[in-house]
Structure formats: C-alpha cells, structure tokens
C-alpha cells in the first residue's frame, strides 16, 4: 500500500486534536528527526491509520476508530508541537 | 441524524448465492485490496529464513529448506476487519502443523513476527488441525511483496489481520500477549463469525 | 460568497461536518467532473487545501478527501476523477446532481498551501488529478495579481485526460505550462511524450539557485520519484511540498 502525506489526514488530526495540525512540528522518538506533520508518512488503509517517520519508518502515531470513538496512540513521538 | 446521500449505496453482500459464506457486516469483493501498516519490505530470498519455537530454542529453515517441505494447495474464503470478504482464494503453502511438528512445539500461544516489525498473536490451537499455513503462492503465482511475499501466515478462519504478511517466525508463548493491532484495541482473538473486531466485542 | 473574508487562519475553530448543496456538476473529461457547491457556513479557504466529504447509506458511512479546485474567494468547487469500481468516486461523478446535499468538512490542511507572500519562483508538478490543488494555486495567484513566476509541468496519459485544458491553454502572464502525455500523443504533438524523469525535470524546473518553491501532487509513485529528483538536483527538502494521493485503495 502506498503511503500518503500527513496532509491527507488533516481532517482526522483536527478532529482528534481540536485544531489544524499539519504544520505542527513533530519529533520522532526513535531517530529524533523533526518534521511538520504534513510531511509524515501515513498508511491510511490498514485496520487503523499508522503515521511513520519518513526517515526511519518507526511508528509515530496510530489512530483506530473503535465503534464511535477514535483512539490515539502517540507513544512513538518524542514531541508534538 | 446524518443527512442521507441520495442515490448512494454501500457495497452490499451478494444475497442468496453466497449465503452462509459471508460473516456479519461483511461485503464480497472481487478485488484483493492491499492494506498495510507500513512500507512493503523487500527481503531477498537468500536472506530469508523462517523460525518456530522460543528464543534460544528454535527450528529455522532457509528458503530452500522451507520450499522443500511438504506443501499443499488450499482454497479458502478470507475476511478483512475493514469489512471486505473475498471468496475462493487459492494459496499454496506449508501447513503450520508440519512446521510445529518439526520444531517440536510447546506453548499454548504464538506470536507471528514479520519483516517491518508487524506482529500478531494467535492461539496454537487455531494454527493446528489443518487451520493455518505459511503461504508462498497466491493464485498460482509466487506471492507478491504487496500481498505479503515471500511468505505470509494464512489463518482464514480469523480476521485477516491475523494472516500476517512478511512472516519470519512463530514465537511460542505461555500467555496470549497482544500483537500490533491487538495492542491498539483490536480483538485479541478475532472471530469474524462472532464479529469480534474490537476488544470487548 | 465572493466577499467572504478569510477569518484568521491561525485562530482555532472546530472542524464541523456541514451539509452543502450541489449547485452544478461540470464535465472536465470523460472521467472527471467538477462539483460546484453552496456551503452555507464556509469560512473561506487557502489555495491547496482540501475537504473531507461523507456519504451515508443508513448506518454505513464512507469518507474521502478531495482538493478544492477553486481559489480563495470563489465558490467551493471540487474536482473528482472517477475510479473504476470505486465506491465513492462513481457516485460523485455519475449520480450527484444539482440540488443534492453533500456532507463535508473543511477547509483542511495548512501544509500544502500557497499564499503570494510565500513567494517563488513556483514550480508546480502535477500527475493526473494532482492538478486540482495546483489549479487553485494558479487561480489564487491570478486573482491576487501576484507576479511570482510559475512553471507548471503536468503529466497526463492522453490529451483527452488533461483537466482544465482550456484554462491551461491560456495561462496568465508569468505562467509557463508544460505538458507531458505518457500513453498517447495526438499527431503533431510538440510537448513531452514520456513519464517525468530527471532529464525532463532538468529542462523544465527552475534552477535550484533561484531558491524556488515546489509543489508536487499526484499518485504516490509520481510524487516520490519527482520530489526525490528535485532534492537530488539541489532543491532543499523543505522547499519541496508534496501531496501524495496514494496508489490504490482510495476510490
């Protein structure tokens, strides 16, 4: 499956975080690379949405829609915003 | 209440002809959608191996050794948690029964480990008795990387996220530890006939 | 609608689903339509942003994202390409008609946007329906009277697949348009006739020394190949903005 950009999940991010997030800077918890969220690699056709660091491929964020709730895991990030 | 989109229809299961083969909430597709949680690994065959067992006590096969094992053709229906079902998919692979017998297995549970870091947990009881394979061919052709090649786990009676792509080992465990999606809220077992999509379903 | 002011883009606002009314559906090509919408609570948008749309059938919901084809200040328009056997796109291109409701939320995205103050020179690279947000950028540039120089390289399969062809044949002053047709070219075709490669980009792209700003949009393979080539040719990565549509799956 081809990755898309963080921009493609702008709506999901806004819904979860309450504001526009694609220009927010994220720091990868594994390799330390800083990127705008819009530049991250998004795998959006899985059972959930997986956001990975474009430099080291490690998982930064995972969003899963479980019934009516969206669950978010941000453990792969060192920092967001 | 959400507005109705005039004239829009969800994909529906084909009614009578497939009755009994389509689990609740699923629709039949003729495609083979590609879903992935990460980039497609491309492992060269001379670097590929498959292991079964516990850390330090594993049986390992190289690609040549693996391909020399007895294998079988199977035709199965597969059910993805994202609601598509594909009927009569044809695979060739080595039965997990064969692999566990050769490895001298123990442990009630197994974790599949894959290139790219994906994991999923399955009870050993659901991998034996002719219910699971490590498959290396689909529809008569070598399994393509985007569908899990060189080899993937095939456990068709559970939701297809359990049929881990790019599988490299089955680690036997004493507890039913959650794998990748199970950790994020998907069901620990995943029976499509009981619609066990999420934890607590 | 033309006078709608864009409320401060940095001010937080909730992103809410709302129901728009379809005003008209225009034919762009055999498989592409532009849907013009009346969105009652539209806060305005920036060039390059997109909307999420949502279709409902009972308790079943399908969601997709589409780039806004119109410039800030123009009525909201979405351009949609019909994907064969798709779930959503054939509905939007073949079924939707004036008077229908369409649920959407937006505008979304702050990363893949261009304002005149961002400067240039601009290099816009489109693969197929990737032209949509870039067309919004071009129209915005024209409406604001910006004189930033622009080069657009647009890759399509055939001439009949070129979206906004009439508009792109009459570019504004300071805009150069280059087409490449990858599958079939008409007799007498004088444009490029192959997939975008490093040599083609070297002929079209602004030299890196001019500190250009690049926007690349289209299928993932196209965007990755083109953006990598630009970076290899000296464009700083932060001056190459990408919007990948994904290879398969989004239908």
pLDDT of residue A1: 55
Residue C57 burial (10 A CB sphere; 0-12, 13-18, 19+): middle
Chain B residues within 8 A of C60 when measuring between CB atoms: 10
Pairing between strand C150-156 and C175-181? parallel
**Domain that includes residue C35, residue range:** 18-108
Confidence of residue C9 (pLDDT cuts 50, 70, 90): very low
Last residue of a domain, one of C67, C90, C108: C108
Co-location of C35 and C95 in the same domain: yes
Distance from C-alpha of C125 to C-alpha of C150, rounded to nearest angstrom: 11
Q: Is the pLDDT of residue A55 over 70?
A: yes
Mean pLDDT of B56-85: 96
Q: Does residue C60 form part of some domain? A: yes
Distance from CA of C105 to the nearest CA of A (A): 8
Q: Does residue C227 lie in a domain region?
A: yes
Parallel, antiparallel, or unpaired: how do β-strands A25-28 and B141-142 relate? unpaired
pLDDT at position B11: 74
Residue at B96 is within a domain:
yes
Q: What is the DSSP string of B3-63?
A: PP-TT-------TGGGTTTS-TT-EE-SS-----SSPPP---GGG-EEEEEETTEEEEEEH
CATH number, position B93 = 3.90.420.10
The subunits that touch chain A, with at least 3 C-beta pairs less than 8 Å apart, are B, C
More confident residue, B31 or C229: C229
Residue B36: list chain A partners with CB under 8 A: 1, 43, 45-46
Return left, alpha or beta for A68; rule: phi > 0 is left, psi -120 to 50 is alpha, else beta.
alpha
Domain end point (choices C82, C108, C134): C108
pLDDT at A40 over 80: yes
Based on the fold, state whether residues C121 and C240 are members of the same structural domain: yes
Domain region containing B76: 25-30+43-50+59-194
Cis amide leading into C189 (omega within 30): no
What is the C-alpha separation between C81 and C77, in angstroms, rounded? 13
Percent of chain B with pLDDT over 70: 97
Coil, strand, or helix at residue C179?
strand
Q: Are residues C76 and C153 in the same domain?
A: no
CA dist., res. B24 & res. A76, Å (int): 35
In a domain, B9, yes or no: no
Average pLDDT over residues C218-240: 95
Instruction: Tell whether C106 is within 8 A of chain A (Cβ).
Output: yes
**Which stretch of B19-28, B76-85, C222-231, C241-250 has the lowest confidence by average pLDDT?**
C241-250
Residues 6+ apart with CB under 8 A from C29: C160, C161, C162, C163
* pLDDT for the residue B177: 97
- Domain range for A70 is 4-80
User: Does one domain contain both C75 and C136?
Assistant: no
Mean pLDDT of C52-80: 94
**Sorting pLDDT into bands at 50, 70 and 90, what band is B2?**
low
Cis peptide before C121 (omega within 30 of 0): yes
* CATH code for the domain in which residue C25 is found: 2.40.30.10
Characterize the bridge pairing of strands C101-108 and C18-29.
antiparallel
C225 shares a domain with C180? yes
- Which member of B10, B33, B34 has the closest CB to residue C57? B10
A37 to chain C, any CB pair closer than 8 A? The answer is yes
- Chain B residue with minimal CA distance to C17? B2
> A67 contacts in C (CB within 8 Å)?
none
Contact B6 C249 (CB under 8 A): no
Assess whether pLDDT exceeds 80 at residue C5. no
Specify if B173 maps to a domain: yes
Q: Mean pLDDT score of chain B, rounded to an integer?
A: 94
- Give the per-residue pLDDT at B201: 92
pLDDT value at C2 more than 50: no
CA C226-C228-C234 angle, to 5 degrees, is 105
Binned at pLDDT 50, 70 and 90, residue A81 comes out as: confident
Q: Which of A1, A41, A57 sits opposite B35 (nearest CB)?
A: A1
Contact A48 B40 (CB under 8 A): no
In whole angstroms, give the CA distance from residue B126 to residue B109.
9
With tokens 């601009």, the residue in question is: C122
Q: Are residues C96 and C122 in the same domain?
A: no
In a domain, C29, yes or no: yes
Give residue-wise pLDDT tens across range B139-188. Answer: 999 999 999 999 999 999 999 999 999 999 999 999 999 999 999 999 99
Q: What is the pTM of this model?
A: 0.89
Q: Is the pLDDT of residue C179 over 60?
A: yes
Is residue C40 a part of any domain in this protein?
yes
Q: Tokens 């001010």 — which residue?
A: C11
Residue of A nearest to C241 (CA): A39
pLDDT of the residue at B15: 63
pLDDT of C250 > 70? The answer is no
Which one of C55, C77, C108 terminates a domain?
C108
The residues, any chain, with a CB within 8 Å of residue C79's CB and separated by 6 or more, are C28, C32, C33, C34, C35, C66, C67, C69, C129, C132, C135, C163
Are the beta carbons of B6 and C101 separated by less than 8 Å? yes
- Give B16-65 pLDDT, tens digit per residue: 677 789 999 898 988 898 999 999 999 999 999 999 999 989 999 999 99
* pLDDT at residue C7 in the model: 41
Burial of B158 (0-12, 13-18, 19+ CB in 10 A): buried
Average pLDDT over residues A50-66: 95
Note whether C147 and C123 are same-domain residues. yes
The pLDDT of residue B14: 60
Across the interface, of C55, C85, C249, the residue whose CB is closest to B5 is C55
Please write the tens of the pLDDT for every residue from C135-165. Answer: 999 999 999 999 999 999 999 999 999 999 9
User: CB within 8 A of A74, min separation 6: which ones?
Assistant: A60, A61, A80
Which residues of chain B have a Cβ shorter than 8 Å from any chain C Cβ?
2-11, 31, 33-35
To the nearest whole Å, the CA of A25 is away from the closest chain B CA by 21
Q: Which of A1, A41, A50, A60 to mutate to test the interface with B (most CBs of B within 10 A)?
A: A1
Do C82 and C93 touch, CB atoms closer than 8 A? yes
Q: Which range among C56-60, C67-71, C219-223 shows the weakest confidence by mean pLDDT?
A: C56-60
Report the domain count for chain B: 1
Mean pLDDT over A50-77 rounds to 94
What would the mean pLDDT of A36-55 be, rounded to a whole number? 93
Structural domains counted in chain C: 2
Contact C62, C87 (CB under 8 A): yes
Distance separating alpha carbons of residues B50 and B69, to the nearest angstrom:
12
Does one domain contain both C97 and C154? no
Give every CB contact of residue C241 below 8 A, 6+ residues apart in sequence: A38, C111, C112, C213, C214, C215, C216
At C1 the pLDDT is 35
In a domain, C166, yes or no: yes
Total tally of structural domains belonging to chain A:
1
Average pLDDT, chain A: 93
Query: What share of chain C in percent tops pLDDT 70?
Result: 93
Task: Calculate what percentage of chain B has a pLDDT beyond 90.
Answer: 85
Same-domain pairing of C217 and C235:
yes
């Amino acid at each position: 499956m081809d990755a898309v950009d963080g921009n493609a999940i702008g709506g999901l991010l806004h819904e979860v975080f309450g504001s526009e997030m694609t220009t927010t800077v994220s720091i990868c918890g594994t390799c330390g690379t800083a990127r705008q969220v819009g530049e991250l690699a998004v795998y959006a056709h899985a059972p959930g949405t997986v956001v990975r660091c474009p430099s080291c491929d490690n998982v930064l964020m995972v969003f899963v829609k479980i019934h009516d709730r969206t669950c978010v895991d941000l453990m792969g990030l060192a920092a967001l915003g | 209440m959400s507005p109705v989109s005039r004239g829009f229809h969800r994909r529906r299961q084909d009614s009578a002809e497939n009755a009994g083969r389509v689990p609740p909430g699923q629709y039949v597709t003729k495609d083979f959608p590609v879903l992935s949680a990460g980039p497609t690994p491309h492992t060269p065959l001379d670097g590929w191996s498959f292991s079964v067992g516990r850390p330090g006590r594993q049986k390992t096969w190289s690609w040549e050794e693996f391909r020399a094992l007895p294998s079988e053709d199977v035709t199965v229906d597969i059910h993805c948690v994202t609601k598509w079902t594909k009927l009569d998919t044809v695979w060739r692979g080595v039965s997990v029964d064969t692999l566990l017998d050769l490895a001298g297995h123990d442990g009630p549970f197994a974790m599949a480990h894959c290139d790219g870091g994906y994991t999923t947990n399955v009870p050993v009881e659901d991998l034996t008795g002719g219910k699971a394979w490590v498959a290396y061919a689909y529809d008569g052709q070598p399994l393509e990387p985007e569908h899990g090649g060189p080899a993937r786990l095939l456990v068709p009676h559970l939701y297809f996220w359990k049929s881990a792509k790019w599988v490299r080992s089955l680690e036997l465990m004493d507890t039913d530890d959650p794998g990748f999606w199970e950790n994020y809220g998907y069901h620990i077992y995943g029976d499509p006939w009981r619609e066990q999509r999420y934890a607590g379903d | 609608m033309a006078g709608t002011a864009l409320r401060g883009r940095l001010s937080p606002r909730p992103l809410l689903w709302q129901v728009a009314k379809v005003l008209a559906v225009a034919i762009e090509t055999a498989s592409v339509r532009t849907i013009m919408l009346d969105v009652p609570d539209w806060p305005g948008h920036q060039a390059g942003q997109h909307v999420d749309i949502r279709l409902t059938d009972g308790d079943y919901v399908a969601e997709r994202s589409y780039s806004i084809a119109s410039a800030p200040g123009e009525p909201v328009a979405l351009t949609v390409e019909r994907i064969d056997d798709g779930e959503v796109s054939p509905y939007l291109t073949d079924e939707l008609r004036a008077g229908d409701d369409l649920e959407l939320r937006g505008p979304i995205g702050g990363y893949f946007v261009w304002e005149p103050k961002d400067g240039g020179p601009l290099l816009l690279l489109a693969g197929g329906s990737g032209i949509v947000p870039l067309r919004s950028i071009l129209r915005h540039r024209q409406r604001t009277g910006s004189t930033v120089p622009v080069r657009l390289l647009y890759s399509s399969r055939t001439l009949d697949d070129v979206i906004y062809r009439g508009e792109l044949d009459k570019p504004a002053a300071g805009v150069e348009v280059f087409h490449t047709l990858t599958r079939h070219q008409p007799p007498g075709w004088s444009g490029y006739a192959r997939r975008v490669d490093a040599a083609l980009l070297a002929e079209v792209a602004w030299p890196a020394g001019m500190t250009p700003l690049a926007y690349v949009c289209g299928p993932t393979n196209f965007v990755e190949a083109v953006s990598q080539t630009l970076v290899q040719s000296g464009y700083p990565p932060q001056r190459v903005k990408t919007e990948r549509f994904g290879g398969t799956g989004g239908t």
